[in-house]
């Protein structure tokens, strides 16, 4: 007889408009049989760590296009996490393996598409929670943005928004290591100070204190920006367009300021793309997952040596998951927002 255990989960209460609230999510407990259904090719896992990520906001709304797979009301939400395999019908994973990838926000989860959504953890001599961030999806995002899309060169003047986020903190360190002039913006004095003191940014500013973003960028980039790592969108993108140099590059990573608006802001100054001969390229990180081994080869030794710094913001327990997730849209997270389910 399979063991039946309680299973606490975070469930979507209803589709969200505007800023998400804790009350849009319900924490509830029911039971699960710790056994895969007969003939299943899926994987039963025990979740350890979950990532609160910006893309999850799009999945909380009614789908507007075919590119976003929305959550199902009444079902657990899902996202990136770290888990231990309890039973596997998938030949490439076995009981006891540690994995990172897509899991439900619940204690125990069955992933029915492990071949495309779960990755075996090969390096276990680093904190496992890092696979929710620097060693997982957001780390790969920084790597692709910098090494594949950004076309950054030594001496470039680089601007990074949401710079204290999981992606931004890493891009800034890559850019400094290459010999760039790096400025980041973030939403609090604490984050601005840490960007300079911990991550070695040349400068940083609190965008919430700037009435005129164009003037702020002119102050930090009197000669203009060569590469802009775009994570915010809206008015910030407009200000960046006005301050790009000839032949500048814009890596389109995300537009977090637009996720909670009922209608996206229109962006002015797009003519700059032509007059300044800019290259603007967006990407979705999972199209580049073939580069994971190459990225891990680079980053794991740097983490172990302490050359690369990384800051997490850790929430304990699934019951604190809703607050952690909605908090990233108000900038409450100081570093990568992790939710601990179990520390096994």
Ligand X SMILES: NC(=O)c1ccc[n+]([C@@H]2O[C@H](COP(=O)([O-])OP(=O)(O)OC[C@H]3O[C@@H](n4cnc5c(N)ncnc54)[C@H](OP(=O)(O)O)[C@@H]3O)[C@@H](O)[C@H]2O)c1
Residue numbers at the binding site for ligand X (CB under 6 A): 53-55, 138, 141, 162, 164-168, 186-188, 191, 231-232, 253-257, 283-285, 328-329, 331, 333, 336-337
Task: Using the minimum distance from each CB to ligand X, give the nearer residue, 254 or 322.
Answer: 254
Least distance in angstroms from the C-beta of 48 to ligand X: 19
Least distance in angstroms from the C-beta of 155 to ligand X: 25
Task: Using the minimum distance from each CB to ligand X, give the nearer residue, 31 or 330.
Answer: 330
Least distance in angstroms from the C-beta of 284 to ligand X: 4
Task: Using the minimum distance from each CB to ligand X, give the nearer residue, 97 or 202.
Answer: 202
Task: Using the minimum distance from each CB to ligand X, give the nearer residue, 272 or 333.
Answer: 333
Least distance in angstroms from the C-beta of 105 to ligand X: 16
Task: Give the per-residue SS3 of the chain.
Answer: CCCEEEEEEEEECCCCCCCCCHHHEEEEEEEEECCCCCCCCCEEEEEEEEECCCHHHHHCCCCCCCCCCCCCCCCECEEEEEEEEEEECCCCCCCCCEEEEEEECECEEEECCHHHHEEECCCCCCCHHHHHCCCCHHHHHHHHHHHHHCCCCCCCEEEECCCCCHHHHHHHHHHHHHCCEEEEEECCHHHHHHHHHCCCCCEEEEHHHCCCHHHHHHHHCCCCEEEEEECCCHHHHHHHHHHEEEEEEEEECCCHHHCCCCCCCCCCCCHHHHHCCCEEEECCHHHHHHHHHHHHHHHHHHHHHCCCCCCEEEEECHHHHHHHHHHHHHCCCCCEEEEECCCC
Least distance in angstroms from the C-beta of 252 to ligand X: 7
- When CB distances to ligand X are compared, the closest residue is 254
């Amino acid at each position: 007889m399979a063991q039946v255990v309680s299973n606490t989960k975070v469930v979507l209460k209803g589709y969200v408009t505007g800023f998400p609230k804790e009350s849009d999510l319900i924490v509830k407990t029911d039971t699960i049989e710790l056994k895969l259904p007969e003939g299943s090719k899926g994987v039963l896992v025990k979740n350890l760590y979950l990532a609160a990520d910006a893309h999850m906001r799009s999945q909380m709304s009614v789908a507007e296009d075919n590119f976003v797979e929305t959550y199902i009301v009444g079902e657990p939400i899902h996202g990136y996490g770290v888990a231990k395999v309890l039973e596997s019908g998938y030949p490439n994973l076995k009981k006891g393996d540690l994995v990172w990838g897509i899991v439900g926000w619940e204690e125990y989860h069955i992933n029915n598409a492990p071949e495309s959504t779960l990755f075996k953890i090969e390096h276990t001599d680093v904190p496992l929670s890092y696979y929710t961030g620097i060693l997982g999806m957001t780390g790969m995002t920084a790597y692709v943005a910098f090494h594949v899309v950004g076309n950054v060169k030594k001496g470039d003047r680089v601007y990074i928004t949401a710079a204290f986020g999981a992606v931004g903190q890493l891009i800034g360190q890559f850019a400094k290591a290459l010999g760039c002039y790096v400025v980041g913006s973030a939403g609090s004095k604490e984050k601005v100070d840490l960007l300079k003191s911990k991550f070695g940014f040349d400068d940083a500013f609190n965008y919430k204190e700037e009435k005129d973003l164009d003037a702020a960028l002119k102050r930090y980039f009197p000669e203009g920006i060569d590469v802009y790592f775009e994570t915010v969108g809206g008015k910030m993108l407009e200000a960046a367009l006005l301050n790009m140099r000839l032949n500048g590059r814009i890596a389109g990573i995300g537009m977090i300021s637009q996720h909670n608006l009922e209608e996206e802001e229109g962006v002015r100054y797009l003519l700059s793309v032509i007059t300044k001969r800019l290259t603007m390229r967006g990407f979705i990180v999972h199209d580049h997952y073939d580069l994971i081994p190459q990225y891990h080869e680079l980053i794991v030794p740097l983490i172990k040596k302490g050359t690369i710094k990384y800051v997490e913001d850790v929430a304990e327990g699934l019951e604190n998951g809703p607050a952690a997730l909605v908090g990233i849209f108000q900038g409450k997270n100081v570093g990568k927002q992790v939710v601990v389910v179990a520390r096994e």
